[in-house]
């Protein structure tokens, strides 16, 4: 092989190496762009994940608050039931005392005491009704 042929061959190999180098440079640029795009996607997804985590935490707090409110409502309903039951007993006692007062003779020495008890029971009954209304 002559020097000219050898130079032509080297020139051809150099052109192929330059073309290959340019192709690799283009691929490298494309991979860098892809890497940048993936990094941006990752940042965006991390931000969305943080927002969703905050929303989930808010929903957990709201759920806990609702559960506490429901528990309080149940407790108030139980208290109202107990007050209504007590009011029923007081009304029965009051009715009994009133019937005794109606039957009592004016000479009965306990008449004044029973009248006072009836007034106290009426007052206590009104107080229970007021407390029950406030609880509702």
Encode pLDDT of 59-108 as tens digits.
999 999 999 999 999 999 999 999 999 989 988 988 888 888 777 655 55
State the pLDDT at residue 99: 84
Q: How far is CA 89 from CA 34, 35, 64, 95, 96, in A?
A: 82, 80, 38, 10, 11
Domain of 66? Answer: 26-135
pLDDT at residue 16 tops 90: yes
Averaged pLDDT score across all residues of the chain: 88
Residue 11 inside a domain? The answer is no
Average pLDDT in the 12-41 region?
93
Q: Predicted confidence band at 120 (pLDDT cuts at 50, 70, 90)? A: confident
* Residue 1 domain-assigned (yes or no): no
- What is the pLDDT at residue 24? 93
User: Average pLDDT, stretch 16-44?
Assistant: 94
Place of tokens 């108030």: 76
Number of H helices, E strands in the chain: 2, 0
Is position 61 within any domain?
yes
pLDDT: which is higher, 80 or 133: 80
The answer to whether position 6 is within a domain reads no
Number of domain units in the chain: 1
Residue 4 lies in a domain: no
Asked if 104 and 114 touch (Cβ cutoff 8 Å), the reply is yes
Q: Give the global pTM.
A: 0.49
Write the DSSP symbol of residue 106. Answer: T
């Amino acid at each position: 092989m002559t020097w000219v042929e050898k130079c032509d061959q080297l020139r051809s190999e150099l052109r192929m190496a330059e073309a290959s180098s340019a192709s690799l440079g283009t691929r490298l640029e494309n991979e860098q762009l892809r890497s940048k795009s993936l990094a941006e996607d990752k940042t965006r997804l991390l931000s969305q994940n943080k927002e969703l985590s905050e929303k989930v935490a808010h929903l957990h707090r709201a759920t806990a608050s609702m559960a506490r409110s429901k528990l309080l409502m149940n407790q108030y309903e139980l208290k109202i039931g107990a007050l209504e039951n007590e009011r029923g007993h007081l009304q029965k006692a009051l009715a009994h005392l009133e019937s005794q007062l109606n039957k009592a003779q004016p000479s009965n020495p306990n008449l004044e005491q029973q009248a006072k008890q009836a007034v106290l029971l009426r007052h206590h009954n009104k107080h229970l009704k007021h407390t029950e209304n406030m609880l509702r």
